[in-house]
Amino acid sequence: MLNIKDEKNGGDLIVELEGRLDTTTSPQLEEKINAVIDGVSKLTFDLKNLEYISSAGLRVLLSAQKVMNKQGRMVVNNPTEEVQEIFDVTGFSDIFTIQ
């Protein structure tokens, strides 16, 4: 299960994820991002409550990163230890700006 909370303030969009971002839930996030990403200059993913991310979830984040490379910047905040480990092992920690 994945809970997605988003807050848009002008060109800033904060997306808070809670639960598991996997094959089952990643289409839900992709749909949400595609619906709200237009006009966003800074996209922040807050992952403090994300328990797990699969390759399908990584693909959604990467696709958001590609869009944001053209129209602004993307930041990943507060990844849990488990999620940070997945970023490190897959090399995504070199691709994303993690704070």
* pLDDT tens, position by position, 6-16: 999 999 999 99
pLDDT digit string, tens, across residues 34-46: 999 999 999 999 9
User: What is this structure's pTM?
Assistant: 0.95
Q: Residue 24: its pLDDT value, please? A: 97
From the list 56, 52, 62, 58, the residue with the least C-alpha distance to 1 is 52
pLDDT digit string, tens, across residues 42-73: 999 999 999 999 999 999 999 999 999 999 99
Q: Residue 2: its pLDDT value, please? A: 97
Q: Cα(42)–Cα(12) distance, rounded to whole angstroms?
A: 5
Give first-to-last CA distance, the chain, whole Å. 25
Q: Is 91 left (phi over 0), alpha (psi -120 to 50) or beta?
A: left
